[in-house]
């Protein structure tokens, strides 16, 4: 009956069937709950009496008089602000070299939610977890409230006077001045820096990126004479090969790539085609998890893999090959990848995340031979996200250490922490006479400089951003500056002796430069207003003539032969960025810290990822997050770091995430994990995240607990949860991979829905439902943070995650699967060597026959006439029967009061007045002792319905979107009304129109891929999943 013979598991312990783990999962709660310790018998009676006494006293006090509450209206109400009515402003999320066009929702003048801007042709309304979380950083209590000198507050006038005087002095004596920053995307800010440079001619602007792309720009300079990173268009690619490039998780504009990638993965009965994705990588990345064929390779093989592809393609193209000892047959699937790249030439794409220019020169050569330039790669529209220059940064650090720099201004960057030269810079700073930072907080760098001139948060400032030539996006303030901060470019102008406000400066620049580039309107004000309203301004740029030169290829191949090995000896370290925390600039954002990593499912930590085989070699066992600390030593640097056994990790390698180990990020980010930036080394003149030699790991014997959420609320033997097929199977049968359970009754097998105790619901007005396409869901986790922001979900902290009390309403379950079950150690190693991965976002399924509703003794959870399973907090008495009876384990219990509670001070959005400004006023902040869960964003449904009623019309499809669905870059989630035959979801599910009076449970869905998780229970959810289709020739792995 069951077609799928794979073994699925969520964590190593499940695969091992560890007896302790099985025992834990049998009970309702993993362990005896410490919360009950207080009520031992000796105290029971007294506590009861105390409580009763308090209760009576409280009740009688409450009866006396209600407190006087004030209603304070505006003194002068702004015309556009109506209390309770949200306003939306187009703006742009900017963080270093990352930018995304967004729309900011404000309530009573407070930004509370960030969503994607659909007007942008680059981002098309997509967001990431960082974008969604950025609004909380605005209300971070750790931000500086004004300028400081030597750590003490000063006023702007004093600071300006002193800084200007010292700059003048340095310039007069011919001393060197440096402005150090991450990539600056704003053309007007760059102009302001130019003005500064004009005033102080000894100034140089040094840009660096935490994760550098300098090698890629150098390679393009060699191949095409242009130091750029071209644009990629995955949507046009039929064969995608990624070599150590996490383009769906962290690489460049992954927001954009997610959308493009998903377009090639969206299939239907009418369109039974999808791209094939090969991935060769060390750590199991989000991108690798989505690949059809993935091969773990060591970092020292990356160059060889690319060289082998080059030679393979060159042979097919009849061109000269390069000298390389690598053969395509050395690496699994490499031959296949080469053949398919060639077969789909012009419609294929090879990307590599390597920052070694030699590797990238070969990558350029391969794409050139494949004819991908002009189709999947666009040199005329380079991506401007990474403009850092590693050599310049290195020179700066040396100059600073040598005392050759008179003054340095760190413009919104933190190189002491997040650059490879951090230690040198920290030491060298004392030798410069003037040190300034524009950081928004006392971070590692700001703490080491004399003056801090804090910049606005991006939601407080005016600016422009150019993500690609001709693709502009505006930054518009959505709130008046909360503190006495000043926009950094305005500071530059001021220090350059100009008194103009930056807003005026920006407007003037646009009047002079970009206004002239358009012909739509001749009135500048109209142009300006329209640009701000749209949030984007896009002009066509001329295609530049580019000629490819194959000349550097031979030299690059030689360099590869020198630096890379076919079979590397010894341990190698691959540093990586985590999808959640990224490069660590937002380390003080608890939403990102608690976001469980889509792959490892760990929160609040970084860790050394090691393979199962290596763990066995070291003798490290990992059960339920309990692991050991090891000492990782690279050259002279060593850190003590916990180990995480990561299926799919290449043998002989370990992985470690950057972005952790902050010491001055703030209360939330400080002391979480270890700092991996010092391990960054140089290869061919550019920073590399791969350490190819000199890595050693030693056991310490110390125990450590990692807060992983994965194995929480899981049960085994549920193959019916993930339903998947391969593309050839799907082409033959659109129902391939579907598992339709049958129940035995009176001599025959029938569908589970045929036997029911339920009378069913009729939905006459709306029938809200959600579909999740597991084929386009890449696991990027933007939805998880969006849900957290929209629904006031508390952050509980590492301790409580360890206690399995995380509160996320929406989790992304990650399943590993392998062809064979794992009975012994050897089989276990094999199974976890390179498993397949499936992501499944899981939230309340809004069952039509909801098991939670029947067991609630106080009817706190009930069914609505629109298909929603409603949770009423004020009625809940906390029996937790519902959570117990929920087969999907999506209900969350408030074990504690998470708001106004010093014990949960990491829950920034609820524990101080500033943080509370981010709360969604339409959603209750839940009290202790009540159950909560996904409400299908009922506040948005109600608001959308009300708007329709006010306008006297029906609800249009798209009027209402759940927070998760609107955050989804890949449109994997589609929300809508099944009663509306024209809605996207009705068409997607091929819903048959329902006559009035027909029960919702009898509704006919004709889409073969759509299924209910745990269909045999006949709980009949309103959330539909679509089978995962892998583009593999046959079932394997």
Residues that bind other proteins (CB under 8 A): 59, 62-63, 66, 68-77, 82-85, 764-765, 860, 862, 864-866, 868, 870-875, 922-925, 935, 938-939, 942, 945-946, 948-950, 952-955, 996
998: part of which helix (H) or strand (E)?
A: none
C-beta closer to other proteins: residue 86 or 851: 86
Distance in Å, CB of 923 to other proteins, minimum: 6
C-beta closer to other proteins: residue 446 or 934: 934
Distance in Å, CB of 782 to other proteins, minimum: 23
Distance of CA 247 to the CA centre of its chain: 12
C-beta closer to other proteins: residue 538 or 762: 762
Distance in Å, CB of 870 to other proteins, minimum: 4
Distance in Å, CB of 750 to other proteins, minimum: 32
C-beta closer to other proteins: residue 89 or 411: 89
Distance in Å, CB of 948 to other proteins, minimum: 5
Distance in Å, CB of 932 to other proteins, minimum: 10
Distance in Å, CB of 947 to other proteins, minimum: 10
Tell me phi and psi for residue 589, to 5 degrees: -100, 105
8 Å CB contact between 704 and 627 = yes
Judged by phi (left if over 0) then psi (alpha if -120 to 50, else beta), residue 290 lies in alpha
Distance of CA 313 to the CA centre of its chain: 34
671: part of which helix (H) or strand (E)?
A: none
C-beta closer to other proteins: residue 611 or 791: 791
C-beta closer to other proteins: residue 323 or 942: 942
Judged by phi (left if over 0) then psi (alpha if -120 to 50, else beta), residue 306 lies in alpha
Distance in Å, CB of 937 to other proteins, minimum: 9
Please count the CA atoms within 13 angstroms of the CA of 73 that sit on its side-chain side: 5
Distance in Å, CB of 852 to other proteins, minimum: 14
Tell me phi and psi for residue 214, to 5 degrees: -60, -40
Look at residues 806, 786, 803, 785 and name the one whose alpha carbon lies nearest to residue 898.
Answer: 806
The helix/strand/coil state of 279 is strand
DSSP state of 252: S
Length of the chain: 1037
Judged by phi (left if over 0) then psi (alpha if -120 to 50, else beta), residue 105 lies in beta
Q: Can you tell me the distance from the alpha carbon of 368 to that of 353, in angstroms, rounded to the nearest whole number?
A: 18
CB burial class (10 A; 0-12, 13-18, 19+) of residue 558?
middle
Cβ neighbours of residue 325 closer than 8 Å, sequence gap 6 or more? 304, 561, 566
Distance of CA 130 to the CA centre of its chain: 6
8 Å CB contact between 772 and 1025 = yes
Distance in Å, CB of 955 to other proteins, minimum: 7
Which residue, chain included where needed, has tokens 């019309």? 953
C-beta closer to other proteins: residue 327 or 863: 863
C-beta closer to other proteins: residue 66 or 152: 66
C-beta closer to other proteins: residue 47 or 80: 80
Which residue, chain included where needed, has tokens 């807060």? 707
700: part of which helix (H) or strand (E)?
A: strand 690-705
Q: Can you tell me the distance from the alpha carbon of 179 to that of 196, in angstroms, rounded to the nearest whole number?
A: 10
C-beta closer to other proteins: residue 126 or 860: 860
Distance in Å, CB of 59 to other proteins, minimum: 7
Starting at the earlier edge strand, list the strands of the sheet with 293-296. Answer: 293-296, 276-281, 239-243, 348-352
C-beta closer to other proteins: residue 42 or 71: 71
Q: Can you tell me the distance from the alpha carbon of 583 to that of 606, in angstroms, rounded to the nearest whole number?
A: 12
C-beta closer to other proteins: residue 19 or 996: 996
Distance in Å, CB of 981 to other proteins, minimum: 12
């Amino acid at each position: 009956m069951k077609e799928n013979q794979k073994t699925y598991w969520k964590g190593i312990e499940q695969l091992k069937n560890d007896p302790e783990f099985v025992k834990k999962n049998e009970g309702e709660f993993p362990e005896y709950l410490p919360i009950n310790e207080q009520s031992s018998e000796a105290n029971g009676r007294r506590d009861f009496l105390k409580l009763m006494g308090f209760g009576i006293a409280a009740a009688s006090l409450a009866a006396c008089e209600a407190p006087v509450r004030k209603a304070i209206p505006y003194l002068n109400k702004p015309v556009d602000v109506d209390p309770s009515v949200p306003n939306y402003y187009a703006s742009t999320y900017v963080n270093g070299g990352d930018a995304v066009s967004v729309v900011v929702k404000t309530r009573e003048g407070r930004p509370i939610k960030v969503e994607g801007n659909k007007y942008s042709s680059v981002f098309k309304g997509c967001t990431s977890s960082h974008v969604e979380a950025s609004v909380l950083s605005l209300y971070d209590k750790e931000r500086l409230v004004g300028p400081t000198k030597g750590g003490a507050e000063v006023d702007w006038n004093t600071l300006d006077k002193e800084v200007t005087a010292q700059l003048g002095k340095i310039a007069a004596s011919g001393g060197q001045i440096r402005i150090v920053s991450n990539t600056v995307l704003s053309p007007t800010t760059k102009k302001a820096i130019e003005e500064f440079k004009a005033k102080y001619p000894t100034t140089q602007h040094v840009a660096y990126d935490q994760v550098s792309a300098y090698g890629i720009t150098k390679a393009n300079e060699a191949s095409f004479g242009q130091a750029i990173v071209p644009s990629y268009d995955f949507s046009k690619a039929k064969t995608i090969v990624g070599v150590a490039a996490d383009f769906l998780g962290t690489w460049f504009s992954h927001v954009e790539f997610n959308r493009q990638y998903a377009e090639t993965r969206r299939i239907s009965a009418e369109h039974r085609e999808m791209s094939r994705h090969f991935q060769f990588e060390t750590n199991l990345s989000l991108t690798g998890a989505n690949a059809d064929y993935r091969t773990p390779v060591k970092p020292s093989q990356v160059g060889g893999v690319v060289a082998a592809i080059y030679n393979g393609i060159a042979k097919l193209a009849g061109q000269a090959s390069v000298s390389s000892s690598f053969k395509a047959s050395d690496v699994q699937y490499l031959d296949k990848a080469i053949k398919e790249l060639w077969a789909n030439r012009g419609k294929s794409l090879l990307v590599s995340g390597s920052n070694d220019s030699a590797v990238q020169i070969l990558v350029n050569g391969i794409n050139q031979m494949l004819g991908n330039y002009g189709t999947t790669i666009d040199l005329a529209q380079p991506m401007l996200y990474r403009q850092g220059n590693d050599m310049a940064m290195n020179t700066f650090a040396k100059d600073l250490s040598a005392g050759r720099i008179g003054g340095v201004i760190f413009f919104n960057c933190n190189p002491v922490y997040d650059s490879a030269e951090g230690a040198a810079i920290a030491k060298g700073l004392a030798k410069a006479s003037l040190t300034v930072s524009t950081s928004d907080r006392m971070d590692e760098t700001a703490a080491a400089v004399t003056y801090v001139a804090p910049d606005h948060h991006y939601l407080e400032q005016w600016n422009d951003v150019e993500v690609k030539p001709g693709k502009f996006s505006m930054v518009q303030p959505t709130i008046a500056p909360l503190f006495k901060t000043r926009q950094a470019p305005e500071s530059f102008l001021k220090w350059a002796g100009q008194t103009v406000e930056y807003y005026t400066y920006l407007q003037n620049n646009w009047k002079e430069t970009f206004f002239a580039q358009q012909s739509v309107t001749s009135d500048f004000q109209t142009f300006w207003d329209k640009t701000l309203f749209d949030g984007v301004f896009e002009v066509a740029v001329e295609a530049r003539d580019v000629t490819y030169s194959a000349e550097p290829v031979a030299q690059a191949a030689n360099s590869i032969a020198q630096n890379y090995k076919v079979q590397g000896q010894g341990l190698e370290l691959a540093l990586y960025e985590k999808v959640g925390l990224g490069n660590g600039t937002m380390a003080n954002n608890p939403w990102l810290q608690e976001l469980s990593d889509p792959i490892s499912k760990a929160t609040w930590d970084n860790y050394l990822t090691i393979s199962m085989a290596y763990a066995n070699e070291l003798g490290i066992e990992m059960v339920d997050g309990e692991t050991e600390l090891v000492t990782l030593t690279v050259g002279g640097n060593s850190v003590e770091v916990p180990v995480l056994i990561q299926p799919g990790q290449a043998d002989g390698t370990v992985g470690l995430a950057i972005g952790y180990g902050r010491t001055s990020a703030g209360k939330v980010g400080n002391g979480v994990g270890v700092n991996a930036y010092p391990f960054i080394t140089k290869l061919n003149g550019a920073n590399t995240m791969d350490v190819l030699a000199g890595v050693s790991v030693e056991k310490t014997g110390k125990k450590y607990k990692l807060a992983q959420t994965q194995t929480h609320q899981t049960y085994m033997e549920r193959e019916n949860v993930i339903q998947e097929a391969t593309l050839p199977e799907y082409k033959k049968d659109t129902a391939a991979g579907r598992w339709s359970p049958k129940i035995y009754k009176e001599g025959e097998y029938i569908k589970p829905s045929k036997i029911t105790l339920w009378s069913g619901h009729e939905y006459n007005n709306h029938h809200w439902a959600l579909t999740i396409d597991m084929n386009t869901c890449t696991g990027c986790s933007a939805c998880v943070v969006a849900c957290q922001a929209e629904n006031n979900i508390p952050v509980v902290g590492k301790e409580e995650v360890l206690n399995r009390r995380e509160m996320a309403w929406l989790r992304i379950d990650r399943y590993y699967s392998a062809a064979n079950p794992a009975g012994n150690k050897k089989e276990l190693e094999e199974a976890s060597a390179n498993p397949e991965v499936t992501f499944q976002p899981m939230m309340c399924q809004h069952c039509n026959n909801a098991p939670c509703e029947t067991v609630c003794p106080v009817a706190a959870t009930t069914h609505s006439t629109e298909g929603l399973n409603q949770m009423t907090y004020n009625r809940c008495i906390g029996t937790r029967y519902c959570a117990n009876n929920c087969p999907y384990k999506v209900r969350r219990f408030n074990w504690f009061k998470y708001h106004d509670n010093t014990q949960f001070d990491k829950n920034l959005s609820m524990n101080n007045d500033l943080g509370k400004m981010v709360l969604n006023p339409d959603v209750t902040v839940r009290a202790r002792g009540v159950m909560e869960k996904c409400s299908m964003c009922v506040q948005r449904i109600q608001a959308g319905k009300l708007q329709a009623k006010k306008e006297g019309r029906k609800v249009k499809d798209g009027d209402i979107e759940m927070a998760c669905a609107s955050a989804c870059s890949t449109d994997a989630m589609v929300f809508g009304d099944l009663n509306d035959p024209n809605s996207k979801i009705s068409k997607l599910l091929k819903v048959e129109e329902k006559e009035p009076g027909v029960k919702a449970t009898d509704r006919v869905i004709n889409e073969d891929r759509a299924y209910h998780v745990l269909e045999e229970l006949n709980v009949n959810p309103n959330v539909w999943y679509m089978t995962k289709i892998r583009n593999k020739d046959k079932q394997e792995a």
